[in-house]
Amino acid sequence: MTTVNKEEIQKFSKIADEWWDTKGKFKPLHMFNPTRIKYIKEKCIDHFKLKENNLKPLASLEILDIGCGGGLISEPMQRLGAKVTGMDASERNIAVAKLHAKKNGLNINYIKSSPEKNTIKKKFDVILNLEIIEHVQDVNLFLKSCSKMLNKGGIMFVATLNRTFESYIKAIVGAEYILRWLPIGTHEWNKFLKPNEIQEKLKKLDFENIYLDGFSFNLFSQSWKKTKDYSVNYIIVAKKN
């Protein structure tokens, strides 16, 4: 059994060299990053009762970034003080991530693997599953494998796209075909999951869903913000009991 969808891995491996090009195929993630980083930082500080005014507020945390790609989230988490492990099933993604981290003097443990095949012995305080779950082969196995790597009382972030008419128009027709922000075929609408579908799966794994928030993009200001509109992009934060 595997969570790896080979077609999805090949899709992202082909454009791996563009991860750090702010005007390239990953431009949408670069625009999204400040909002995502702020959200993760705030929720971690709140959950673990950390000191917010510290320059490295996440210094006491072990974070696992699954589907890390070229390291767009792993690097900011390390800069905030966390001890970070980045995991990705694409060898090219990991190679790009390692090289970029080395150039910037960042100590991040990058490994080519998937959750169900990992050989990491330790467990983590935080697991990040950001824009990855819609690309995996077996969602139930993926979440179960993630759960095994998370400390009790730890939290998991699951960010993805909702399966709605609005998400089809904005994330696929708009982003891929009209604005050409993403390569055509990046997303498959039928693989998107509704918030309650993920929440139910997490409950079965003894998780407590503590936050559900949406993210929306303003085309005019070219910026993202947190919202209570879950119709397109949303994030779930769940605590392992």
pLDDT at 192: 92
pLDDT at 115: 95
Strand extents, DSSP E, 16-99: 62-66, 83-88
pLDDT at 237: 98
- What are phi and psi for residue 114, nearest 5 degrees? -125, 160
User: Distance (Å, rounded) from C-alpha 1 to C-alpha 204?
Assistant: 20
Residue 231 contacts residue 162 (beta carbons within 8 Å)? yes
Residue with tokens 């190679």: 95
User: Distance (Å, rounded) from C-alpha 108 to C-alpha 82?
Assistant: 10
pLDDT at 179: 64
Helix (H/G/I), strand (E/B), else coil: 34? helix
Angle at 37 between CA 32 and CA 38, to 5 degrees: 105
Q: Tokens at residue 91, please?
A: 């060898």
pLDDT at 172: 81
pLDDT at 76: 98
The CA distances from residue 42 to 51, 80, 99, 138, 237, in Å, are 11, 12, 29, 30, 12
User: Distance (Å, rounded) from C-alpha 216 to C-alpha 151?
Assistant: 31
User: Distance (Å, rounded) from C-alpha 200 to C-alpha 12?
Assistant: 29
pLDDT at 176: 64
The CA distances from residue 145 to 89, 106, 133, in Å, are 14, 27, 13
Kindly report, residue by residue over 68-99, the tens digit of the pLDDT: 999 999 999 999 999 999 999 999 999 999 99
Q: Using 50 as the pLDDT threshold, list the residues of the chain that sit under it.
A: none
pLDDT at 178: 65
Q: Tokens at residue 77, please?
A: 């988490």
Strand extents, DSSP E, 179-222: 207-218
Helix (H/G/I), strand (E/B), else coil: 166? helix
Q: 47-80 burial, b for 16+ CB within 10 Å, e for fewer?
A: bbebeeeeeebbeebbbbbbbbbbbbbbbbbbeb
Q: What is the pTM of this model?
A: 0.92
pLDDT at 238: 98
CATH number 1.10.10.10 is the correct assignment for the domain at 6-240: no
User: Distance (Å, rounded) from C-alpha 94 to C-alpha 92?
Assistant: 5
pLDDT at 25: 81
